[in-house]
Structures are given as structure tokens and as C-alpha cells.
Amino acid sequence: MKQEITVPPMGESITEATIGTIIKPSGSTVGMDDEILELETDKVNQVLHAPQGGVLQLSVETGQVVKIGQVVGYVDQDGKPAEAKPKAEAPAQPQSKETAPPKSAQPAPPKPAAAPAKGGARMMKEEFLADLQGESQPAPEKPAKPKPASGPAPAPKAPPALPRSAPSLPIGERRETRKRMSTVRKVIAARMVEATQTTAMLTTFNEIDLSNVIALRDKYKEPFQNKYGCKLGFMSFFVSATVEALKAVPEVNSYIDGEELVHREYYDIGIAVSTERGVVVPVIRDADQLSFPEIELRIEAFARKAREGSLALEDLRGGGFTITNGGVFGSLFSTPILQPPQSGILGMHKVQKRAVVVDDQIVIRPMMYVALSYDHRVIDGKEAVTFLMQIKNYLEDPSRLLLEV
């Protein structure tokens, strides 16, 4: 009995997928729920499983684009696995009757005897007598040099010109490797180009003194982890500060739709997560209604699912504002790129101790540069700077987040 394998529905906006890795080749024996192949989409990758046990027959190849509902193969319960065909041996070439003898069998022509070199280890009688006769004859006198005539001294000769460039060194071997671009990488590339070509993107910068945030983390990190089972990181502080800044500057939580300006009345914050396949942005829904532990638990769950490749489409859909943290890789300063149709993205960077002036005193503080990239069609410079200053004020005095002042 044969059972077809079809491409399942994967979301309202997804109409096609690309055949990625073929895990089980055609003709192999599979069991029920065995992984057969991987489908790549512009959102996430999805693995297809065998609907029953039997012999697998696929009608698609790697890189082929398939539609939702398309049949990509079947599993035959009564089929037999394909047997490997033995390789045919190459026929032996007949020897020719007239075969030339090998080169080693042909006698080499005799080499002519080399003449003895003069001044070698052994000298003949004639050479010795000739040398004696040459030494006994007086050397010819050199003609006297004429005295220079009186007058100005001749100009010195110019030194020989040096070469303009040193001789080039030999060029080593140039190697290149090619591989097919994944669907996720294609989508990331297309969206980055779209963001730079369809938005009036501008970036404003500031720096934040994280002394108080670090002091709170150091004081409560052990009780926090013991109670909630997750670490207290910077991201929960930044998410909470971003929500309060969006409330103060609602233009940053807006976007353009045709000729209309749409303002979101909710606060869905995307968190950029780096994976082996590229950057994904899972979304924390209704972040304004979540506590610090709830934010940290959701971020930890998203990071784990991203590493395992088990993020669902619902985890990535939507989002009104994005936070990306290049500081985990050591970045000190960067310009994040917008994620259309969003109008703003916040870039976090490495915490570094620097000398700053506080109350007319030079002190050492843990500082972080932050960057806000925004769509200048929606947000003016005043609103962008005000938004970033709101985040700075909340993080430099995190007690304001609890008091909501």
C-alpha cells in the first residue's frame, strides 16, 4: 500500500518552500515518523516525517521549489529497497604484437669523455710547464695615465638609478569554494536591501552608565535564579525600558501602510537571536504586561528553540520594535538595519569601563553605547533623540521602571 507525502500548510503568507536537506534517499527503508527531508521557507525550516513504514520513493531534488499541497513522493509498505548495482570492470586492453622495448632496455649512447679542467685536483705535465713559463715572463707595463689639464674639475658621475619598485613575489595558489545559498540567507539579504532602498533610515547614538543595573544584578542574581530557574540578564531591563519609551514617544511604535500612518496600541518586542542558519527575530507579545522573570523566561525559551531549530511561525510573526545585541560578540559600535515594516530598532553593544565625568569628577564607569536606527519618514530627529534619552534615563536609574515614573 502506497501513501503519498505532501507539503503541509505552513502559514497564511507562505505559498511555497524549497527542498533543503534530503535526509533519507529515495529507495531506502524508513519507519513511521522517520525524518525524510527538510523544507526551507522564508520564516523557518520544517522537517517532513514518514507517514508509515516502508520503502521511500521521492520525486524531488535538493533546491527544487515546491508548492503547498504538492506531492513530493510516497512510502510503499510492500516495496523492496533498491539494491546497489555492482560496478562493471573495465575491459582489459589487448597488447599490440609490435611493442617497442622499454626505454630502460635500450642501450644509452656513450658519452664523450670530458676534457680535464685546468686547475683541477690532478694536473698534467704540459699544464704544469705552461704555468711555469707564464709566471717567468714579466707582466707588460701599464701605460702611464695622462695628467689632467689645468681647469675646472670634471663633474662627478651621477649614481645609477634605483629600480622604482621591488621585484614582485610569487603569487600563491588562489582557492575558492562555492555552496548554495540557503533560503533563510536569501530572505535576510533581500530584506536588508529592501530596508536600505525603501526607507529613509537614520541612526542616532548615545551612551548609558550601567552601574546601577549591574549592582542590582550582582545583588539579586542568585536569589533570582534560585526562585525562577533562569539568569537575570540585561535584556529584561532593556525590554522594560523600551516599552516605557514607546509609551512616551508613540511615533516609534508606528509604521506606514500606503498613504496612512498606523499606530500600534500594543507592545510586541522582537529579540534578534543569532543561529547557525542566520538571524531570527522571535517576538515577545504584550511585553508591557510581563514582569522581569516572565521576560527572562521567554527570552531563554526562544534562544533554546532557535538553537534546536524548533521555532514556530507564530513565534516570528509580527513585532512592532526590535532589539539586537551585538555586544555578546564584542561589538562596541554599530548601525542596526531596520526590519520593515517596523520604524525603529535598538542596538545594544559591549559594556566597557571608561573614564567619564560625574559631578565634575573623573571616574571609571561601565558604559555601553546604544544606537537607534529609525525611519525618518515616520519619526523626526526630536522624537528619536527623546526616545533614546528615555531609555538612558530608565536604565541609569532602574528604580523608575518599578515606580513607572
Residue 102's identity, in one-letter code, is P
Q: How far is CA 186 from the centre of its chain?
A: 13
Whether 349 is catalytic is no
**Hey, is 123 helix, strand or coil?**
coil
Return the number of other C-beta atoms located less than 10 Å from residue 162's C-beta. 6
Indicate the burial class of 239 (C-beta count within 10 angstroms; 0-12, 13-18, 19 or more): buried
Helices 235-248 and 292-308 pack at an angle, to 10 degrees, of: 110
Whether 376 is catalytic is yes
Element (H, E) at 288: none
CB 347 within 8 A of CB 335: yes
Least Cα distance to 65 among 40, 36, 35 occurs for 40
Instruction: Catalytic residue, from 33, 218, 263, 376: name it.
Output: 376
Instruction: Catalytic residue, from 33, 131, 286, 380: name it.
Output: 380
**Hey, is 127 helix, strand or coil?**
helix
The position carrying cell 695628467 is: 147
Task: Provide the annotated active-site residues.
Answer: 376, 380
